[in-house]
Chains A and B, each alone.
Chain A
């Protein structure tokens, strides 16, 4: 669609269009589940899902309330993403700086990165167990590639002038990494963290397929085996909302970093 010739929409217009889109989506959903063509149990109405989600806020299902499941999920998620960032970012920066490291890591990395996190589930369970280790590994495998790639690109394409300025100021390699490469790549790194955080959160359900205690993914699996579709959808709703919140928070951080640099 050629949007280029259209005038930009005002905030209000954009909001109205957004509301129309959401209302349309909910309308079709409601119509489909009320129509009788689909068994009600297979497709609960939005109201049933909302009611179920509200109920689960205080009432336990599969051993915990929805906020408690979320808290456990967030804990695993935080570990997985933190691990991905703390390995991916330094490794990416070092690869950007040292060609030989780039040549060693890139073939392995390229060979592995198209394997979906969920494909690791059996091995994650075997190697790291179904407690916290396995899920962390799956979230890690989702969040790691963007962390590494963006740090690498950030370091690789740092403006040569900064490197030369650092050299002429007599900066050693360690300080060149910490005081020049890292801050120069920060906008790119944060963008990578945002994508990584999103992919990590998406991997969560897969990660929690194998856990046997608590978590939103676990709640969904339990809902499925009890044929409680509203519970499954309440879990999906919670994942969607929390994912959106994480993205908004990191996007905000990205804006702040860019603004501090005078880029936005």
Chain B
């Protein structure tokens, strides 16, 4: 079991002596092997949520647990895929992916095995010895996801994983992620600006209020996906064309728009 649980989490930042609330009582559970997308207006504290789960920041009040353990600093059990990839430019694709395993003291032969498996899974064959700057944005993102996946983490945390990609690459990567999730399901919390992406990828979508962030509503996409048999469609554009998809998307859009123009929730 590796659920991510936010229990009444508050986070305040201090700026010029003043205490600014960023998160105002977050309660959210990402169940084992569930994919939850976090959407919300910019500055609402989505990224802060993810950083709390990653252990880069600590809550001012409340607690975050992953797999039943309170989060205490960053670690390989909660692999992060960063928005700007954050690959090490001085390491090759292979070395970037193997780095976390080397830290864990995994033997060279096991390492090779696991790295080559994930390279195959992510379609990176032939790029093993390339350096990040020699790759396109999409390929770099594949490496970043491979680097996280190879650790076999309890939870995957993704901060706008496709935000830096062009529209076409983005769609390809989204399809890819769905394919991988079917092969190898994980507990995933991911942040996105793109409502389409949230509805397409997530089991549930959590909509946040504007700052200070709270969870405004949670939509169960999985329920609709199964009922309307989205998985019968191989291509993203066909899913996005379905009435049930459009309906959900529009609902979330409205919900977000209310936050942007500042209608009291």
Contact = CB atoms under 8 A, between A and B. Distances in A.
A170 B82 contact: no
A179 B134 CA distance: 20
Interface in A64-93: none
Interface in B48-101: 54-56, 73-76, 78-80, 82, 84, 86-90, 99-100
Nearest to A175: B103
B239 to A, nearest CB: 32
A261 B75 CA distance: 27
A168 B113 CA distance: 22
Interface in A142-182: 159, 161-162, 164-165, 167-172, 175, 179-180
A169 B147 contact: yes
A63 interface: no
Given A164-B56, A170-B75, A170-B100, A261 B84 contact: no
A168 B88 contact: no
Q: How large is the interface on A (under 10, 10 to 19, 20 to 34, 35 or more residues)?
A: 20 to 34
A167 B88 contact: no
Contacts of B120: none
A107 interface: no
B86 to A, nearest CB: 4
B76 A262 contact: no
A60 interface: no
A120 B132 CA distance: 47
B74 A261 contact: no
Contacts of B79: 168-169
A1 interface: no
Nearest to B79: A168
Q: How large is the interface on B (under 10, 10 to 19, 20 to 34, 35 or more residues)?
A: 20 to 34
A162 B88 CA distance: 7
Contacts of B36: none
Contact of A165 (B78, B80, B133, B134): B80
A260 interface: yes
A141 B18 CA distance: 46
B104 interface: yes
Given A164-B74, A167-B74, A186-B90, A262 B100 contact: no
A180 B89 CA distance: 10
Nearest to A262: B133
Contact of B84 (A161, A167, A171, A180): A161
Chain A at the B interface: SS class: helix
Given A168-B74, A169-B147, A183-B90, A261 B99 contact: no
Contact of B100 (A162, A164, A169, A186): A169
A168 B99 contact: no
Interface string A43-63: 000000000000000000000
A179 B99 contact: yes
A261 B147 contact: no
A162 B55 CA distance: 15
Interface in B3-32: none
Contact of A169 (B76, B90, B131, B133): B76
A170 B76 contact: yes
A170 B99 CA distance: 9
A211 interface: no
Contacts of B84: 161
A246 B148 CA distance: 43
Contacts of B88: 162, 165, 179-180, 183-184
Given A161-B84, A262-B89, A168 B134 contact: no
A161 B144 CA distance: 13
Interface in A223-264: 260-262
Nearest to A169: B100
Contacts of B103: 169-172, 175
Given A162-B86, A171-B103, 19 more contacts: A164-B80, A164-B82, A165-B86, A165-B87, A167-B56, A167-B74, A168-B75, A168-B76, A169-B79, A169-B99, A169-B100, A169-B147, A170-B100, A170-B104, A172-B103, A180-B88, A184-B90, A186-B90, A261-B90
24 contacts: A159-B86, A161-B82, A161-B84, A162-B88, A164-B54, A164-B56, A164-B82, A165-B80, A165-B82, A165-B88, A167-B55, A167-B56, A167-B74, A168-B76, A168-B80, A169-B76, A169-B147, A170-B100, A179-B99, A183-B90, A184-B88, A260-B131, A261-B133, A262-B134
Interface of A: 159, 161-162, 164-165, 167-172, 175, 179-180, 183-184, 186, 260-262
8 smallest beta-carbon distances between A and B, as pairs: A262-B133, A169-B100, A161-B86, A183-B90, A170-B76, A167-B74, A165-B86, A170-B103
